[in-house]
Chain A
């Protein structure tokens, strides 16, 4: 009997050995994985009340930690909250971290490897842990201007970049929200504000589904730049090619006819040059190019401009990949070629496409981070311009630039013209089906030495409003940047 008692004891000890193993696994071996789990609120709660680094724009903090109350030593505060909400995101106890607060969390919280020695120092000096500050490439004047150019109540985005470096100078969208309300310490208020914010259609709460990086919109005629690049790249077309320009295009076997653009002077000619077709934004010449080259050629050129591709690791914000559909029938391909049907692009994607044309065909990785500085202002990270991909040849880029310049000087993009400066641009009007459109302008200036690219989109507007809110607004931004 005693032998059996000893065996039972061994069985019990064996069970406890398993427990010791399980505890070791959870608390030590697998702990890092558990800590990194997206559902784990402890990470944020852990340093919720710490002195996080600031997010800076032009030397001023747009997100900073300010002294809080007794229970929480520091409280996150967003300055000009609506203006920068799409970039900063929020740092919330209940809803986690989003935007740059999330993407740069290791640096802001001071837990990144680069800050190891700072942490050691803080430990010995007994100082509060303090995070690194993150300075953005954003120009506060341009950001404010761009934001104010979108009327309140209007859904829209504006992206301003430096095409030579990929630096983002301004990136705004409306409607926006106040991240302070979601990052408050009052949990009831926090929840009320969040529940209120998610009700607003198109609000830039999540950069991967809304705002300039996430809203997937029909690009309309700005997509014709892809067709043009594909055509020139195929070798079948050149600068002097004559394109068919019928009033409508029909397809074998179906009733549907693709009409030409009604807004400009397309109806005056039955054939067109590239320059004329782009200037007047005629539809049928580009539909016929797509029919001639086939779906693959267009799709390939689209992906060279970044459709469906990664946007590099300097953007930091989450984003959506733009889409060019596949397996299209003849009508579908024709509609896709003019940026309708199921073609979807984010405002940032259109800005990158234009920037690639401006930069001699080389697409620079979009970059938001100017520098990351440790608490003692030592620079610990300073992203350099990185070429993301080659979208087209310098020759083709130069040719398209010429035609885009004529769109502004002689065509329907004249609203963007800046006196004394050559502006290259392309407009787009994507029909949404109920008389409303997504109205686009994308362009850069000066055409011979591009300093700035501007992409404007206004969602759900009629033709007149769209025309007023896109090209003329782009002009104001060009002026603001170039006259600095």
Chain B
């Protein structure tokens, strides 16, 4: 029922309990792999485990101080996923490799940034002010990898990396967030306008052509990413994000139809015109033909090896540290799902996918609960982006759809992805804090009263639409009266 009926509960103790559980899963997984690799539980292990535990508990304390009504399940879920990823990456490290420790460093940095976001932002509605700045930042982030000097060049066929001193960074991951902020800000301001007009064809109301502007822009951005960065996964992700947000903003299924038509059309043309897309599709459809299997680069060896790994895992898996996930190329990044499938089996992988499902469900809950349109759109968009990203990655690994180079959120090795996804978690926690907390009716700041206006806006929109629909009937009524 309504939040006003009962006193909202912070539920921070529940979070603490779940967090201990999540940490014991993560650290337990790490311990198992250490034992199986026949390295004793050395100081490295204890240092890594305590670092993760301390960082998680600091995060928890920050939530107690700054967002005490935040959803208590989100943080433990993410810590568990992140910790499992750390264990697997650590386990896949060949002697001398440092990917595991690097991932741990990035985890700590990412959690620190997420904490900073919560600490300094205080309220997600502030972000609405940065609607157009977000657009500019998104554009900048997407163009950076193409700028000579900053660009890290073409890595594994995609130009999505920039060089920051000794490190490489994938700005597209962060662009996912800034784009979501822009869409949320733009759509929450203009949704009434877009919703209002349109032609009705069959059961669906189609928008006016001039309201298609944002859609066309989003489509062009996606196509641009596909052509210039050669990154099919991000392209699909950006466009999916936009479709969902405009659908939520307008409640018009026609947007989804138009969007899907555009993406299918664009995808079809791209698969004909661009060899990198055609190769992806070919190695998906013909994965088990000798020519495609052996082709390098762009062959299906990676997918097929991943499938072999998952098949060998079967129902219960080989056990952590007992399988041979390192036979699969990119076992700790793009194909980490196959590594988990092999060692934890169907049951373990279902549990991981279930954690993602719970995570995005909690995000959608926050979207439902929060009272401002901007927050709803942002939470819904970010949650859907996480879900879509999981679908694209896991679907690719299991050969449901063509494999694209997206990372598995929180699990896969990669600093940019961790950073971006932890920021998303920070934002979702903040939105859930306002969603679950006591109703704050006071205006946030003078001149900016998103909440006060919001209840009126949809109602107004609905009335307007009713008015336009009843207009043609009006003369008839008038005639009757005469």
Contacts of A254 in B (CB 8 A): none
Return chain A residues, CB-CB under 8 Å to B312: 31, 35, 40, 42, 46
- Interchain CB contact under 8 A, B400 and A41: no
B274 CB within 8 Å of chain A: no
Q: How far is the CB of B417 from the nearest CB of chain A, in Å?
A: 19
Q: At the interface, yes or no: B458 with Cβ under 8 Å from chain A?
A: yes
Chain B proximity mask over A1-45: 1 for CB below 8 Å, otherwise 0: 111111111011101101111111111101110110101111001
**A28–B310 alpha-carbon span in the complex (Å):** 9
Chain A residue at smallest Cβ distance from B255: A4
- Chain B residues in 8 Å Cβ range of A8: 244, 247-248, 364, 380, 384
The B-contacting residues of A in range 242-287, CB under 8 angstroms, are: none
Q: What bracket does the count of chain B residues touching chain A fall in?
A: 35 or more
Does A12 contact B395, Cβ atoms closer than 8 Å?
no
Interface locus among B94-102, B104-112, B342-350: B342-350
* A76 to B143 alpha-carbon distance, docked (Å): 57
Bits for B384-414, please: 1 = Cβ < 8 Å to A, else 0. Answer: 1001101100110011100000000000000
Q: Are the C-beta atoms of A13 and B311 separated by less than 8 Å?
A: no
- Is there contact, CB below 8 Å, between A20 and B308? no
CA distance A4 to B356 in the complex (A): 21
Within 8 A of A (CB), among B81-140: none
Main SS of chain A's interface residues? helix
- A26 touches which one: B249, B324, B368, B398 (CB < 8 A)? B398
Give min CB distance, B81 to chain A, whole Å: 15
Whether B293 sits at the interface, judged by CB under 8 Å, is yes
The docked-state distance in angstroms from the alpha carbon of A426 to that of B346 is: 63
Contact yes or no, A34 B307, CB < 8 A: yes
Chain A residues closer than 8 Å to B76, beta-carbon distance: none
CB of A42 within 8 A of CB of B383, answer no
Which residues of A are found within 8 Å of B63, using beta-carbon distances? none
- Give the shortest distance, in Å, between B256 (CB) and chain A (any CB): 9
Contacting pair A40 B308 (CB below 8 A):
yes
Tell me the bound Cα distance from A421 to B293 in angstroms.
Answer: 59
Cβ B327 vs Cβ A27 within 8 A: no
User: Contacts A15-B387, A15-B388, A28-B314 known; A4 to B307 CB distance under 8 Å?
Assistant: no
Provide the residues of chain A in CB contact with B384, threshold 8 Å. Answer: 8, 11-12
Residue B315 lies at the interface, judged by CB distance under 8 Å to chain A: yes
- Chain A, Cβ-Cβ closest to B253: A7
Number of residue pairs across A and B with beta carbons under 8 Å? 132
A13 to B400 CA separation, bound complex (whole angstroms) = 16
Most chain A CB neighbours (cut-off 10 Å) among B356, B360, B383, B400: B400
Q: Which of A31, A37, A39 has a CB less than 8 Å from the CB of B314?
A: A31
User: How far apart are the CA atoms of A5 and B361 in the complex, in Å?
Assistant: 11
Q: Please state if A35 and B311 are interface contacts (CB–CB under 8 Å).
A: yes
Residue B357 at the A interface, CB < 8 A? yes
> What's the Cα separation between A21 and B353 when bound, in Å?
12
Complex Cα gap A41–B400 (Å): 23
Given the complex, which residues of A lie within 8 Å of B357, measured CB to CB? 13, 16
A190 to B: closest C-beta gap in Å: 16
A3 touches B390 (CB 8 A): no
A231–B341 alpha-carbon span in the complex (Å): 66
Q: A4-B248, A27-B311 are in contact. Are A16 and B353 (CB under 8 A)?
A: yes
User: Which A residues lie within 8 Å of B373 (CB)?
Assistant: 1
- Least CB separation from B308: chain A residue: A40
User: Is B251's CB within 8 Å of the partner chain A?
Assistant: yes
> In the complex, which of the residues A1, A22, A37, A39 contacts B395, with contact meaning CB atoms closer than 8 Å?
A22
- B331 nearest CB across to chain A (Å): 13
| Contact of B424 with A by CB under 8 A | no
Q: Which of B248, B350, B387 contacts A12 (CB 8 A)?
A: B387
Contact code string B311-337 (vs A, CB < 8 Å = 1, else 0)? 111110000000010010000000000
Q: How many whole Å from B1's CB to the nearest CB in chain A?
A: 15
Contact across chains for A1 and B248 when beta carbons are under 8 A apart: yes
How close is A47's CB to chain B, nearest CB, in angstroms? Answer: 12
User: Is there an interface contact between B341 and A27, defined as CB atoms closer than 8 Å?
Assistant: yes
- A83-127: CB near B (< 8 Å → 1, else 0) gives 000000000000000000000000000000000000000000000
B41 → A minimal CB distance (Å):
20
Are A28 and B315 within 8 A (Cβ)? yes
B residues in contact with A45, CB < 8 Å: 324, 327
Most buried by B among A16, A20, A46: A16
- Let me know if A41 and B327 touch, CB within 8 A: yes
CB of A365, distance to nearest CB on chain B (Å): 32
Known contacts A12-B360, A12-B387, A16-B357; decide if A6 and B368 are in contact (CB<8 Å): yes
Task: Give the CA-CA distance A459 to B422 in the complex, in Å.
Answer: 71
Q: Which of A3, A5, A42 has the most CB of B within 10 A?
A: A5
| A23 with B310: CB separation less than 8 A | yes
B309 interface residue (CB < 8 Å to A) = yes
Contact B346 A1 (CB under 8 A): no
Task: Please give the residue numbers on chain A whose beta carbons come within 8 Å of chain B beta carbons, in ascending order.
Answer: 1-9, 11-13, 15-16, 18-28, 30-32, 34-35, 37, 39-42, 45-46
Q: What are 6 residue pairs bridging A and B, where the CB atoms are less than 8 Å apart in the complex? A: A5-B368, A13-B361, A22-B399, A22-B400, A28-B346, A34-B308
List of 7 A-B pairs having minimum Cβ-Cβ separation, nearest first: A34-B311, A22-B398, A12-B387, A31-B311, A15-B391, A22-B400, A27-B346
